Amino acid sequence: MGKLVSMLYPKMTATRREEKLDGMWKFCFDPEEKGEQEGWTNGLPGRGAKAELLPVPASFCDFFTEKEKREFTGDFWYERDFFVPGEWKGSRVYLRFGSVTHRAAVFVNGRAVGGHEGGFLPFSLDITEAIRYNETNQVVVKGNNELADDTLPAGQTKILPSGRKMTKPYFDFFNYAGIHRSVWLVSVPNCAIEDYTLSYRLEGEDAVVSYEVEVTDTANELTAGKLIANKLRVKLSVYEEEGDLAAEGEAFWKEETIRKEGTILKGELRVPAVHLWRVRNAYLYRFCFRLYEGDSLVDEYWEDQGIRTIEVKGCEILLNGEPVYLKGFGKHEDSDIIGKGFSAGVMKRDFELMKWIGANSFRTSHYPYSEEMYQMADQEGFLVIDELPAVGFMESLQNFDIAALGKMVPYFLKPTTESLLANHLNALEEMIKRDKNHACVIMWSLMNEPETTSEAAVDYFAKVFERARELDVQKRPRTFAMLANSLPDTCHCYSFSDVISLNRYYGWYIAGGYEIEEAEAMFRKEMDAWAAKGLNKPFIFTEYGADTYASEHKLPSVMWSQEYQKEYLDMYSKVFDSYDFVKGEQVWNFADFQTVEGIKRVDGNKKGVFTRQRQPKDSAFYLKERWESLEQ
């Protein structure tokens, strides 16, 4: 098995090469799980015109007209050919997958090269020993989208009378599956920059950049003696947006530091008269890392980075020491036809709509998004709450109803809790490793709507929150989104959060329609109870919303009408403005999105401020007026 390697986003540099393998791949369902036995690892059945082709990146679900294909649960396979040029010989070659939902095993020229568990984070596999140079090679991917109590996200896999499998998610979005993000073929030197980590502190008009660089060598063991004898060093050059050199620093391996840090090299440099990365006013420096052996360039890697600080002090969220109020959305990676597949066009439209409406932030509900989304947020100056796929930690197929009724369903007493925690911590490490250097990422959301009403949750939460603090050099605030039955007198876990994040649906799941005045009274009663606790922490609302049909108008209003959505949002705005510890509002949801079918969902969740086709509902104009009147 090949091992997982660097998570660095593929770049073409003086020492690195990359080629996207996006396009039409061969595809095959495997409901009988016979693929490996029949040798599909060496190529899928069907040749020429008889082969089924599907685009990558995309979900497979919505391309088909047969319901059993859209709803397919189990093993599915992808295949394509790729060419490896001869000039790559002598370097390290790997395949990098942006994501395969929810798990994958990968084969190159019939040889198993590795796999990955978790459908929303990238993985890279070293395929150097499996490829042929100056020849056509073959990659086969065996995917699987089944859910269980210990998967992220969580759910059930049910067997229907026909023998077909069916997913029963503990979460309210469709269980789209496939190769959702780009696939790359990458070449890097054997001795290469594996990873880097940045943190900042401000000193007057300057910024001090602390950096750590991890180096690996697949051809030679990097011992202390070799690092010193080979005169390996790292130069960090920081360039202005105009291309001028802003700062430069150099670090060498020394025997005393090697004993402490191994192959991780630490250094600092000062950026004078720094241009800070600000909300909706981004400035990006180009950070270029160069690894030298003596005077010879061994490896080069660059990325554009914003310099900023983030902290929580009392009830304030401070960016560069200045208070910020979050305005924006919970979102989903969800669009017509391609499902959760990444689309640069959809991404561009989403950011233009968020800018138009006056938003400054979003939460990556309920999983880490494609890396391109973070790159765009860095460029546009949007604040991102980065969320793990830790959703569904309440055994309910309709947790929005269960929570609204106040039911308490312990989740962390299951026999699967130990394996769930292991999967959770692994996803946490991968997410922070991938996203730690993005200026846009200001907060980690470690769970969405978990069960918090039993004592068993406390130990689980403690381990996850502690690990997040250990992993993040920048020490960003940590949070989790609390559902309706996680109340001041019932929740055992809110103390772990640096920022209290509430998902609330007074006026929709609780006391909706003509009872909205009662909903407001209940809402204020809860907020008064939080205020009485004197937590001295910022509160943000990570979900609130009402299902709305774009075609439905009614005077006077009724639930599901455009008019009711505006009345609902206006009630929430008044409550937010009544409590000075409320520091953010993120509406659920940015756009309508697909869910499982059922009597509570009419072809999906319709709480979007925009339709699934990214057109505004009336509420968009209400929010635009409100948000443009609020401070950043």
DSSP states of 4-27: B---PPP---SS-EEEE--EEEEE
pLDDT in the model for residue 51: 83
Average pLDDT over residues 123-143: 97
Whether residue 1 is predicted with pLDDT greater than 50 in this model: the reply is no
Question: Does the pLDDT of residue 156 top 80, yes or no?
Answer: yes
Contact, 431 vs 446, CB < 8 A? no
pLDDT, tens only, 108-125: 999 999 999 999 999 999
Look at residue 259 and tell me whether its pLDDT is greater than 50. no
Percent of the chain whose predicted confidence (pLDDT) is above 70: 93
Work out the angle at residue 280's Cα, subtended by the Cα atoms of residues 276 and 282, and round it to the nearest 5 degrees: 35
pLDDT value for 263 = 73
Active site residue 261: no
Residue with tokens 């990955």: 116
Query: 10 Å Cβ neighbour count for 242?
Result: 6
Q: What is the mean pLDDT of residues 352-361?
A: 98
CA dihedral 234, 239, 245, 247 (to 10 degrees): -60
Catalytic residue among 146, 543, 567, 585: 543
Question: Does 514 score more than 60 pLDDT?
Answer: yes
Can you tell me the mean pLDDT for 179-195?
Answer: 96
Bridge partner residues of 76 (DSSP): 29, 143
Query: If pLDDT is split at 50, 70 and 90, which confidence band does 227 have?
Result: low
Least confident of 49-58, 298-307, 478-487: 49-58
| pLDDT exceeds cutoff 80 at 308 | yes
Q: Which helix (H) or strand (E) holds 185?
A: strand 183-188
Report the SS3 class of residue 299: strand
Secondary structure class of 518 (helix, strand, coil): helix
Q: Where do runs of H (alpha helix) occur along 20-176?
A: 67-70
- Regarding beta strands 582-588 and 539-543, do their DSSP bridges make them parallel or antiparallel, or are they unpaired? parallel
The pLDDT assigned to 374 comes to 98
How distant, in Å, are the alpha carbons of 21, 247, 252, 263, 268 from that of 212? 31, 16, 12, 10, 9
The 10 Å Cβ neighbour count of residue 89 is 13
Confidence of residue 401 (pLDDT cuts 50, 70, 90): low
The span from the CA of 13 to the CA of 290, in Å, is 10
Q: Which of 449, 552, 567, 585 is catalytic?
A: 449
Q: In this predicted model, what pLDDT tens digit does every residue of 434-444 receive, in sequence order?
A: 999 999 999 99
Q: How far apart are CA 63 and CA 1, in angstroms?
A: 33
Contact 627, 358 (CB under 8 A): yes
Average pLDDT of the segment spanning 308-329? 98
Check residue 255 and give its pLDDT.
57
Separation of alpha carbons 101 and 274, rounded Å: 41
Cα separation, 115 vs 127, whole angstroms? 12
Q: What domains lie within the chain, and their CATH numbers?
A: 17-188 (2.60.120.260), 191-305 (2.60.40.10), 323-629 (3.20.20.80)
Question: Measured between alpha carbons, how far is residue 206 from residues 236, 272, 280, 307, 478 in Å?
Answer: 17, 5, 21, 11, 27
Q: What pLDDT is recorded for position 244?
A: 97
Mean pLDDT of 392-396: 83
Is the pLDDT at 258 greater than 60? The verdict is no
- Work out whether the CA dihedral 427, 429, 430, 436 comes out positive or negative: positive
Q: Where does the pLDDT of residue 544 fall: very low under 50, low under 70, confident under 90, or very high at 90 and above?
A: very high
For residue 314, give the amino acid letter. Answer: G
Alpha helices in 34-75 (DSSP H): 67-70
Looking at residue 3, what DSSP letter applies?
Answer: P
pLDDT value of residue 204: 96
Mean pLDDT of 254-266: 63
Helix H or strand E encompassing 448: strand 441-448
Residue from 135, 128, 132, 142 nearest 97 by CA: 142
**Among 169, 171, 144, 145, residue whose Cα is nearest residue 155:** 169
- For residue 593, CA distances in Å to 349, 362, 598, 604 come to 16, 16, 14, 6
- For 390, list phi and psi in degrees, rounded to 5: -90, 75
Query: For residue 2, is pLDDT > 50?
Result: no
Question: What is the rounded CA–CA span in Å between residue 358 and residue 315?
Answer: 23
Alpha carbon 382 to chain centroid, angstroms: 15
The residue that leads in pLDDT, 259 or 215, is 215
Maximum alpha-carbon separation in the chain: 81
pLDDT digits (tens, 9 = 90+) for 561-614: 999 999 999 999 999 999 999 999 999 999 999 999 988 888 999 999 999 999
For the stretch 481-490, pLDDT in tens is 999 999 999 9
Which of 421, 410, 468 minimizes the C-alpha distance to 443? 468
Tokens at 45, concatenated: 């059945």
Question: How many contiguous H segments (helices) and E segments (strands) does the chain have?
Answer: 11, 30
Mean pLDDT of the chain: 93
Distance, CA of 175 to CA of 179 (rounded, Å):
13
Average pLDDT over residues 543-550: 96
Instruction: Please check whether residue 478 is in contact with residue 468, taking contact to mean a CB–CB distance below 8 angstroms.
Output: yes
Per-residue model confidence as pLDDT tens digits over 582-593: 999 999 999 999
Q: Which amino acid is at 453?
A: T
User: Looking at residue 396, what is its pLDDT?
Assistant: 67
Return the axis-axis angle of helices 618-629 and 562-576, rounded to nearest 10°. 20
Q: What is the mean pLDDT of residues 163-181?
A: 96
Q: What is the pLDDT of residue 50?
A: 80
Side-chain half-sphere exposure of 104, counting CA atoms within 13 A: 32
Total-model pTM: 0.95
- State mean pLDDT over 36-54: 90
Active site residue 430: no
How do residues 450-505 score in pLDDT, each as one tens digit? 999 999 999 999 999 999 999 999 999 999 999 999 999 999 999 999 999 999 99
